[in-house]
Chain A
Amino acid sequence: MSNAWDGPLEKIDNFRWQIPKSYKGGMRVPGIIYADEKLLKDIRNDKAMEQVANVAFLPGIVRASLAMPDIHWGFGFPIGGVAATDIENGGVISPGGVGYDINCGVRMLKTNLEYDGIKDKIENLVYALFSDVPAGVGSKGDIRVTQREEKEILLKGSKWAVEKGYGTQEDLECTEEYGAIAGADPGAVSERAFERGKSQSGTLGSGNHFLEIQVIDQLYDRDLCDEFNLNLGQITIMIHSGSRGLGYQVCEDYARDMIHCLQKYNINVPDRQLACAPVDSPEGKAYLGAMKCAANYAWANRQCLMHLTRQSFERVMNMSWEKMGMFLIYDVAHNIAKIEKYTIDGKEKNLCVHRKGATRAFGPGHPALPERYKKTGQPVIIPGDMGRNSYLLVGTKKAEEETFGSTCHGAGRLKSRTAATKDINLDTLLKDFKSKGIIVKASGRGTLVEEAPQAYKDVNEVVDVVHNAGIAKRVCRMRPLGVVKG
């Protein structure tokens, strides 16, 4: 059975396409997809477009149901979807618009190490990281916490980790929301969610999560690279993880409960996975309080993972992390809902911005940014697949104007896991990595094939679109040297 989509699509310009409001009765706004003609062909191959149209049903949605060029078929929302709802105007919040892995996100560290100086040590570093950083399904961290401490993590996020000695004040400054979003309510988190999260602090998880040693192989904007102190041949590190079992359970608890809100608040959505409640309702407030807890847990988790990474480097390189210049550039969330201010029809409004597989991309001068990034704009970190590239970009004013300060979050899947397993041969894949000089260690048996580069779109094409559309600006590109997969 074909999943291809053949609905109406109007070209706005070379990088934007519109699904008209008239496509489905019940759409409150049109759908707008950021893509070029080439990416569009792949995007039409599954039901992602239909999901963009479905999101347009959400009460209070403003301007458009948006999709980034890495969009693909999800459940409820498409992955790569952005939707903002007007809180004062009955705007809703939907757990499906955030996803199960709440605050799945990525952080990037720079180093002052040069590729030529450490190329013989990459293998040792990958093996050290693989043994020091707990990865894989249900993996347990060495950083053990009591239930009381877990509550503290939910409130303090990365700050909890820094207070434990797993990082510095500067790390907090270089994290979205300074590593802890205000308004977290541990009382809204179920016992089961606590139980699922208890042993997983400082764990990478599985699937598409990873830890990667990379080298900068292309500079796009000399001035911005100078601002970030980045150059060709410099080693960088990327960490991709989320809120683990705690976040999954928070999402499921509220996705289930909010089904009843559809009737209670007379909400009409075409997919039960879009279950939602007004942001201002008791149910909406409870979810937001619980979601923020999971977001803070994820930031603490990535802070712990970075601490373990710094320790592994220290052990292998026999040097302090400070001396190696292992400083955090930034940490971004890409599955989250945020209350942000935007001017809509000349009026300042509080919007609930859902980013489901999308990255915040605030431009220069935005008040939410720390002083150090006021001039450059917010660093936007885009991981690609494990065989091709990753990017550092910065946010733009145009993103704030057009996409509620949002841009893409990665390459975006192209092939299903079942298709990847069927089509990709593990031995050939390993040979490919070897020929490219990429050292890979994975804990899951099927992970490597399921997450193979061929299963993803080309991140270079995705980033070209967001750069050319002006909703982020390229700074530099990295290629992978060593990969640890969950």
Chain B
Amino acid sequence: MKNYELLEHTADLKVRFTSPGLKELFVDSAAAISDIIAERKDVKPAKKSKISIRVPLVEGADRVEDLFVDWLNEVISLSAAKEMIFSDFKLIKLDESGLHIDAMGEAMKNFRINTEIKAATRHELKVNRLKPSPRWQAEVIFDV
């Protein structure tokens, strides 16, 4: 089952992510981005390379939200710059200094590209725990 759903927004793409916990939210949202952008072509998987993705946690009032949107943007930007689609995300560290997730990257040419995501925006951004449950939910508008 997909852990994200598409919501209504006139021009862009609004997505709601739901995960069992905060750590999973970071991992699942990145996997969702790959799923939205691309679909594997019917070809033999190419060699994958390990990519370390790190996002620092900066001072500010909305730390979880900032970290979350910075994380999504790092995934989008790195995927475009390296021309790779990422999978197999593994959380290495989430603490006061920031976030470190390792992923496997595969050349974009092995995928059919469905959507170009320009960036994750901060407009109507929501990241919160679904209290009293340990689950976390985020809503993000992407410019596509």
Which residue numbers of A lie inside 8 Å of B, CB to CB? 3, 46, 48, 72-76, 79, 99-101, 136-138, 192, 195-196, 199, 205-207, 245, 248-249, 251-252, 255-256, 259-260, 271-273, 275, 413-419, 444-446
B12 at interface by CB-CB < 8 Å: yes
B29 at interface by CB-CB < 8 Å: no
Point out the residues of chain B lying under 8 angstroms from A74, CB to CB: 11-12, 123
CB–CB A272/B122 < 8 A: yes
Q: How far is the CA of A418 from the CA of B62 in the complex (A)?
A: 29
- Which interface residue of A256, A272, A275 has the most chain B CB atoms within 10 A? A272
Chain A proximity of B130: nearest CB distance (Å): 17
Chain A proximity of B83: nearest CB distance (Å): 6
Contact with A along B76-110 (1 / 0, CB 8 A): 01001101000000000000000000000000100
CB–CB A136/B113 < 8 A: yes
Stretch at the interface among B2-10, B17-25, B45-53: B2-10
CB–CB B70/A248 < 8 A: no
What are 17 sample pairs from A and B whose C-beta atoms fall under 8 A apart?
A: A72-B11, A73-B11, A100-B118, A101-B143, A137-B113, A137-B114, A138-B113, A207-B116, A248-B118, A249-B77, A252-B73, A252-B77, A256-B73, A273-B121, A413-B11, A444-B113, A445-B114
Point out the residues of chain A lying under 8 angstroms from B83, CB to CB: 138, 199
CB–CB A76/B81 < 8 A: no
Chain A proximity of B37: nearest CB distance (Å): 8
Q: How far is the CA of A196 from the CA of B82 in the complex (A)?
A: 8
Q: Check A415/B121 contact, CB under 8 A, given A138-B83, A260-B60.
A: no
The residue in chain B whose Cβ has the minimal distance to the Cβ of A3 is B8
Point out the residues of chain B lying under 8 angstroms from A444, CB to CB: 113-115
Chain B proximity of A469: nearest CB distance (Å): 23
Q: Check A416/B73 contact, CB under 8 A, given A101-B118, A195-B81, A273-B123.
A: no
Top 7 closest pairs, chain A to chain B, by CB: A75-B123, A137-B116, A137-B113, A273-B123, A75-B121, A195-B81, A272-B122
CB–CB A445/B8 < 8 A: no
Q: How far is the CA of A199 from the CA of B82 in the complex (A)?
A: 11
Q: How far is the CA of A381 from the CA of B119 in the complex (A)?
A: 27
B9: contacting residue among A138, A192, A271, A416, CB under 8 A: A416
CB–CB B123/A417 < 8 A: no
CB–CB A273/B122 < 8 A: yes
Q: Check A137/B10 contact, CB under 8 A, given A76-B123, A100-B143, A245-B81.
A: no
Chain A proximity of B144: nearest CB distance (Å): 6
Which residue numbers of B lie inside 8 Å of A, CB to CB? 6-13, 37, 58, 60, 62, 66, 70, 73, 77, 80-81, 83, 108, 112-116, 118-119, 121-125, 141, 143-144
Point out the residues of chain A lying under 8 angstroms from B124, CB to CB: 75
B60: contacting residue among A73, A75, A259, A445, CB under 8 A: A259
CB–CB A271/B123 < 8 A: yes
Q: Check A196/B73 contact, CB under 8 A, given A138-B116, A259-B66, A415-B10.
A: no
CB–CB A248/B119 < 8 A: yes
Q: Check A418/B12 contact, CB under 8 A, given A259-B60, A444-B114, A445-B114.
A: no
Chain B proximity of A36: nearest CB distance (Å): 19
CB–CB B121/A76 < 8 A: yes
Chain B proximity of A270: nearest CB distance (Å): 11
Chain B proximity of A423: nearest CB distance (Å): 12
CB–CB B70/A196 < 8 A: no
The residue in chain A whose Cβ has the minimal distance to the Cβ of B108 is A138
Point out the residues of chain A lying under 8 angstroms from B10, CB to CB: 46, 48, 72-73, 413-416
CB–CB A99/B143 < 8 A: yes
Q: How far is the CA of A75 from the CA of B120 in the complex (A)?
A: 10
CB–CB B108/A255 < 8 A: no
Point out the residues of chain A lying under 8 angstroms from B6, CB to CB: 418
Q: How far is the CA of A418 from the CA of B77 in the complex (A)?
A: 24
Point out the residues of chain B lying under 8 angstroms from A199, CB to CB: 83
CB–CB A75/B113 < 8 A: no
Contacts A99-B143, A100-B119, A137-B115 known; list 9 others, CB within 8 Å: A76-B123, A100-B143, A206-B113, A245-B81, A248-B143, A251-B119, A256-B73, A444-B115, A446-B115
Chain B proximity of A249: nearest CB distance (Å): 6
Chain A proximity of B3: nearest CB distance (Å): 17
Point out the residues of chain A lying under 8 angstroms from B121, CB to CB: 75-76, 255, 273
Q: How far is the CA of A383 from the CA of B1 in the complex (A)?
A: 40
CB–CB B81/A256 < 8 A: no
Q: How far is the CA of A258 from the CA of B108 in the complex (A)?
A: 32
Chain B proximity of A296: nearest CB distance (Å): 19
Chain A proximity of B72: nearest CB distance (Å): 10
Point out the residues of chain A lying under 8 angstroms from B70, CB to CB: 256
CB–CB A419/B116 < 8 A: no
Q: How far is the CA of A73 from the CA of B37 in the complex (A)?
A: 23
Chain A proximity of B36: nearest CB distance (Å): 11
Point out the residues of chain A lying under 8 angstroms from B115, CB to CB: 137, 206, 444, 446
Point out the residues of chain B lying under 8 angstroms from A207, CB to CB: 116, 144
- Which interface residue of B6, B58, B115, B116 has the most chain A CB atoms within 10 A? B116
Point out the residues of chain B lying under 8 angstroms from A414, CB to CB: 10
Chain A proximity of B113: nearest CB distance (Å): 4
CB–CB B114/A446 < 8 A: yes
The residue in chain B whose Cβ has the minimal distance to the Cβ of A272 is B122
Q: How far is the CA of A46 from the CA of B124 in the complex (A)?
A: 13
CB–CB B144/A417 < 8 A: yes
- Which interface residue of A73, A100, A137 has the most chain B CB atoms within 10 A? A137
CB–CB B116/A206 < 8 A: yes
